Structure 1
Amino acid sequence: MRPLSLGLEEARELFLRQLADFLDACQDLEDFELLEASRCRGWSRLEVIEHVRDGLAQMAAAAVAFTDAPPDHDAATYWSSHPDDRDENPIAHVMWLRRTASAYGRPTAALHRLREVAETLATVVSHVPNRVVLFQGKAMRTGDFIATWIAELAVHQLDLATTADTPVGLPLAKRTIEAIADADLPGELPLTDAVLTGLGRIPAPVGIKLPVAFPVAL
C-alpha cells in the first residue's frame, strides 16, 4: 500500500466542494428515483444516501475527537480495515441499512436529513484545526481524515448514477484506490471508468487488463 496524505487546507477546500457536489447530485431525485438501484450492490439510491448521512454524522463527531497520540494511519491505510470487516458476510449490513432507510415516511425525507447533517459538518470542517483525531480506533491527521471522506463522497456520488457523474473529488478517489492497491489503473481508462473499474463496480473493458491487485474496496 502506498502512502497518501493531504494537508489540512487542501483537504478542507476539496471536501467542502465535494460535499456540495454530492448534495447537488441527489437534491432533485424524486421518491421513486430514490428507490431505484444504485451502482452499489444491494443498495438503492436511498440506502446510499442514508449510508452517507450516517457517515457524515459520525465524521462530525470524530472531527473534534483530538488526541496527543501520533498518527498511525493516513488517507490510504485507513482503508486497510473497517468495523464492517468483522462480518465477512455483507448481507447483515445491507439489511440493517435497508431497515434504517425504510424508517422515513417517504424517501425524499432522507434528503432533508442529509442536508441538515451536511450543513453542520461543513461548519465543523471549516474550523477544525491541524490536529490528530481518533476515528474507528485509528489516529489520523485531520487532513488525512477529511481526505478519506472526499474519496468516499466521490464514489457514492457515482453510485447514485445520476447525470452528475463527474464528482470534484474523483481524482483523489482514483489516487486513493491506486494507493490501496499499490498499483496504477490503466491510463487509457477515462477517470470515471477507472474509478468504477478499480472498485469492481463495472468490469474492465474488453482488451484492458487490470493489475491483479484490483478491485479494491472503500
Structure 2
Amino acid sequence: MRPVRAAFSAECGRLSEILTELTDDDLVRPTDCPPWNVQDLIAHIRTGVGRLTDMLAAPAPPRAEVDAAGYFGTAKFTAEVDADRIAGGQREALRVGRAALATEFDRAWRATEAAIAAAPPDRVVRTRHGDAMRLGEFLRTRVVEVGVHGLDLAAALGRPPWLTPPAAVVIGDLLTGGRPTPAGLSWDRLTLIRKATGRAVLTAPERTVIDAAGFRWLAFGR
C-alpha cells in the first residue's frame, strides 16, 4: 500500500504542476483519445482520481472479488461503456470550465489522499463497475489512470513524458504481473508502458517475442 500511495501522490502532484502552466490554446489541442481535447481529458482524469472519496464513504463490501489486473478486463470496456466515458469527460469539462480545471484537479486528488489516509489499509471498496476490490488494488488502477493519461497529455502538448519513477514502477509491475519484461525485449519502463497500453506500435519481432512468452495484455478503455 505504501509504494502505491507514494506513486499516486507523486504522479498527481506532478500533473498538478503541469496544469498550472497550461494556456487556453493548450486546452483545446486534440489528443490521441478522440474526440477528447486536452481539457476533456484532464476533466476525465480529475473524475478518475476523485472516485475513491465517495467509494470510501459508502459501506464496505464483505470481501474483495477482483484485483487491479482483473479490473482492466475486456468486458468492462465495451462500446457502450466507452461511449458513456467519452460523454462523461466532455460533460465534466463543461461543468468545471477552463479557469478552474487545475484547481479542481488538485482539490480532487488531495481529497482522495486524505480519505485514503483515514481508511484501514485492508478496506474493501466497490467500483462503479460493481467490483469489490481492496483499497490498495483500486488505488493501483488510479496510478494507471493518471500515469498513462499523463503520457497522452504530454503527447498532445508536445512535451516530453513526465511520468514519475514511483508511478512507472507501479504501472510496469501491474502490466507484467510483477514478472520481468519478456526476454529479448530491451524495453525500459516507459517503453513497456507505452507499448503495452497501445501508446506505441509493436514491431513484428516484438509481437513474436511477446506471444512466445505468453504475455498477458490488459484491456484499457479511455
TM-score surpassing 0.5? yes
Distance 1:61 1:95 in 2: 21
> Identity over aligned residues, as a percent?
19
Which residue in 2 is equivalent to 1:110?
101
The Cα RMSD (Å) is 2.9
C-alpha deviation, 1:160, in angstroms: 0.9
C-alpha deviation, 1:58, in angstroms: 1.7
Unaligned regions of 5+ residues in structure 2, if any?
none
Match of 2:92 among 100, 117, 131: 100
Which residue in 2 is equivalent to 1:217?
220
- Bigger helix fraction: 2
> CA, structure 1 residues 183+29, in 2 after alignment: closer, same or farther (shift >3 Å)?
same
**Structure 1 stretches of at least 4 aligned residues deviating more than 6 Å after TM superposition:** none
Distance 1:82 1:9 in 2: 30
The Cα offsets for residues 96-136 of structure 1, whole Å up to 9 and x where unpaired, read as 4224323455x242112112212212211222212222223
SS of equivalent to 2:115: helix
Unaligned regions of 5+ residues in structure 1, if any?
1-7
Distance 1:91 1:140 in 2: 24
The Cα offsets for residues 11-43 of structure 1, whole Å up to 9 and x where unpaired, read as 223322222122223331111112112333432
Asked if the contact 2:69/2:218 (under 8 Å) is kept, the reply is no
Which residue in 2 is equivalent to 1:3?
none
Asked if the contact 1:150/1:172 (under 8 Å) is kept, the reply is yes
The Cα offsets for residues 182-209 of structure 1, whole Å up to 9 and x where unpaired, read as 9946631232222111111221257533
Asked if the contact 2:27/2:38 (under 8 Å) is kept, the reply is yes
Which residue in 2 is equivalent to 1:48?
41
Which residue in 2 is equivalent to 1:151?
144
Which residue in 1 is equivalent to 2:70?
77
The Cα offsets for residues 155-200 of structure 1, whole Å up to 9 and x where unpaired, read as 11111113343333022212222339x9946631232222111111
